[in-house]
Amino acid sequence: MEKPKIIIQLIWAIALIVAGIGVFYQIPYKMEQLEQIKHLSSEKYFIKFCFYLLGVLLVGGGLKKIYKYCGKSNGKEPDN
22-43 pLDDT, tens per residue?
A: 999 999 998 888 888 888 777 8
- List the domain boundaries for the chain: 3-31+39-71
Task: Please check whether residue 25 is in contact with residue 73, taking contact to mean a CB–CB distance below 8 angstroms.
Answer: no
Higher pLDDT, 43 or 79: 43
Higher pLDDT, 3 or 59: 59
Cα–Cα distance, 26 to 15 (Å, whole number): 16
pTM attached to this predicted model:
0.78
Structure confidence at residue 20 (pLDDT): 95
Higher pLDDT, 76 or 18: 18
Res 80 pLDDT > 90: no
Task: Please check whether residue 35 is in contact with residue 41, taking contact to mean a CB–CB distance below 8 angstroms.
Answer: yes
